[in-house]
Chains A and B, each alone.
Chain A
Amino acid sequence: MLAGYAMGVCEQYAESTEEAEEMAQEGFVKLFKNMHRFETDRHEDLLSSLKGWFKRILINTCIDQYRKNKRNALSHLKPEALEIQEYSEATPIDRLSYKELLQAVRLLSPGYRQVFNLFVLEGMSHEEISRQLGISVGTSKSNLAKAREKMKKILTHLTRIKTYV
């Protein structure tokens, strides 16, 4: 139950499924190591509380991994994997699957991806993101805007491909 949940969270932050799996396992280890800190008697719905707590662990693990990768080499600052043509006709869609979202997010550069995930999916403020990632608030805002723009491009492209197929 928690394994699928952990994978779902980590996929959004990881470059690949293998990396997501590694981060999920790391999250599990942290969970078991810190289980004694989880105050079971303070929560009405134990499972939801545990999931929320575990999600925080997973996100922190992903951020740690991002920082590690960022320190390691500039190679991680890969160029845009996909050059997307701009399409003049914009057709707004009303539904987005998890798979499409994941596909799009993974095409973002790590810096953009982290800010996008933390702001859009986790609901963090720019101040919190700046603290977590060690960047300025301005950079966080800038990265978010660029991440949104690229995400829209990617998703539009993917939708078009799907339509053609």
Chain B
Amino acid sequence: MYNQPDEEFDRLCREAAENPECHPSADGWDKLRRKLDREMPEKPDRRPGWLLWLPFLISLPLAMAYWLQFPASGKDLSSLLSVLKPVQQTDKAASKQQPGFTSTNTRNGSPAKESPSPGTSAATLEQSLATAPHTKLPENQAGSQTEGTHNESSLGRNPQANSKNAGDREQMTAGQFTAPPRIKSGQPPAKKLDRPKSDLGRKPEQLEQRRDAEQAAEAEDNESVNRELVQASSLPADVKDSSVQGLAKSSAATPEPLKATSRDSAATKPPQATTSGPIANNKGFGFMAVFGPDFSNVHFDAGSKSGFSVGMLLEYHFNKRLSLQSGMIYEKKNYTAMGDAYGKIPGYDVNDPNFKMNKVDAHCFMWEIPVNVRYNFVAGNQHRVFAATGFSTYLMRKEDLHYYYTHYNLFKYKKWMNDQSSAYWFAVANLSVGYEYRINQMFSIQADPYFKIPVKGMGYGTVPVNSMGILFGIRYRPLKSAAPSKK
């Protein structure tokens, strides 16, 4: 051996080293375990089961809080009245010293505001509400009427003249305008009305702009009244008398021509078709872009990362409360199926006694087509709380599957991608409760926590996938153009 060639000696050593006959000592494992515990302390298994319910847990108290804070938002006017009456009675004393309460624009069906106005009784309010039609008027139209009333009252007209002019207007513009609420003679009218409801929540700059616009409109009205006066002088005698008298009366009653007067004078003009501005509609289509995180699981086994959802929804609103939604949402769902929950693996028989599935990590890319019915429990002008339910169809585009299994006592791993598209019709039932905040007449934002219950399995392994998450959305509802009306 001593004179053995180096290559031969190296070969012998390598062959000997190939079959080591070493075994760790009996306490070797304990030592290793202690060392591992010291170096890599085991983290507690965080099962975010409660986390999956978090969106619901958050949304529920929010909805309750909103409901309690704005109890009248979704109720009709009679219930609103019952809410307001005690307020009037209890605050009566205070309203004598301070500006009292008065009703504002009730014609658009929106809840009446409480605004400082001296001398308005609860009876007046009640009557105004009772006589107010429940049909909703366009907000801008309603707003302009309020402005008119504001002008009149701010100019210090007496109640008689006020009511008389209101009656005149009603006669002259019958069929064109909805009559304003009558004010009983002998009762003090609403002297000064508060800002329109649409002003609520606006910034001071916006309000200033609005005031400027009002002043400009007022100036325009003044000019038009002057023009009417000039025209009246050239009319036939009978017409001249009546129109001039009427105009003179209103001019005499007020130091300045009024907006309402200009409307009156419009009756003398030849009728012409005009179109008012766009108005918000309760009925019609809407569009919504949605996005948000998605937490999916199989049998509520935690361990997978969150996915995402992004898509577009089309919705049809039947009325203020009920709507139907559908669209396309692209989703990535990540889930982990523990044990034999995932029942299929290419190239193996899962029923083979020598085969044992340990875990499957799945990353799925799919399109979701939801068909949901939504109902607004709280259907205020700015805040809405809703619930939606329906079914979703899934179009599976790609599945990235990671199998961890044991075959003949050997731990194995396999990665497989299934890129064959497949459809799963109405595979999931949707439940959601959400909140919507209206930014303006066209746009609103919403948060919609959801829970998706599997109706049947989907994917290559036909697994029932639960999903939870929250969809954030931006809704666009096009304004409806008002129908042409004759003035």
Contact = CB atoms under 8 A, between A and B. Distances in A.
B135 interface: no
B412 A99 contact: no
A98 B9 contact: no
A91 B412 CA distance: 48
A90 B1 contact: yes
A153 B9 contact: no
Contacts of B412: 46
B216 to A, nearest CB: 69
Contacts of B68: none
B413 interface: yes
Contacts of B35: 25-26, 28-29
B441 to A, nearest CB: 53
A151 B13 CA distance: 10
Contacts of B14: 120-121
A121 B18 CA distance: 9
A28 B32 contact: yes
Contacts of B410: 47
A125 B17 CA distance: 18
Interface residues of B, number: 35
Contacts of A33: 39-40
Contacts of A164: none
A112 to B, nearest CB: 13
Contact of B24 (A21, A86, A93): A21
Given A101-B17, A121-B13, A159 B1 contact: yes
Category for how many chain A residues contact B: 35 or more
Contact of A4 (B4, B23, B31): B23
A70 interface: no
A26 B3 CA distance: 39
Contacts of B16: 96-98, 100-101
Interface in A26-74: 26, 28-29, 32-33, 40-41, 46-47
Contact of B31 (A17, A21, A99): A21
A151 B20 contact: no
B6 interface: yes
B348 interface: no
A8 B21 contact: yes
A94 to B, nearest CB: 8
Contact of B1 (A3, A6, A12, A156): A156
A95 interface: yes
Given A25-B32, A96-B15, A90 B39 contact: no
Contact of B17 (A12, A28, A94): A12
Interface string A91-131: 11111111111000000000000000000110000000000
Given A95-B12, A101-B16, A155-B1, A4 B22 contact: yes
In this complex, the member of B2, B14, B412 whose beta carbon has the largest number of chain A beta carbons within 10 angstroms is: B2
Nearest to B13: A120
A17 B21 CA distance: 12
B44 interface: no
B1 A91 contact: yes
21 contacts: A3-B29, A7-B20, A9-B20, A11-B20, A25-B28, A25-B32, A25-B35, A41-B402, A46-B412, A94-B12, A96-B13, A96-B15, A96-B16, A98-B17, A101-B13, A120-B13, A148-B6, A148-B9, A151-B9, A156-B2, A159-B1
Interface of A: 3-9, 11-12, 17, 20-21, 24-26, 28-29, 32-33, 40-41, 46-47, 86-87, 90-101, 120-121, 148, 151-153, 155-156, 159
Interface of B: 1-4, 6, 8-10, 12-17, 19-25, 28-29, 31-32, 35-36, 39-40, 402, 410-413, 415
Given A29-B35, A156-B1, 14 more contacts: A3-B24, A3-B29, A7-B22, A8-B22, A9-B20, A11-B20, A20-B22, A21-B25, A40-B415, A41-B415, A92-B1, A93-B12, A151-B9, A152-B4
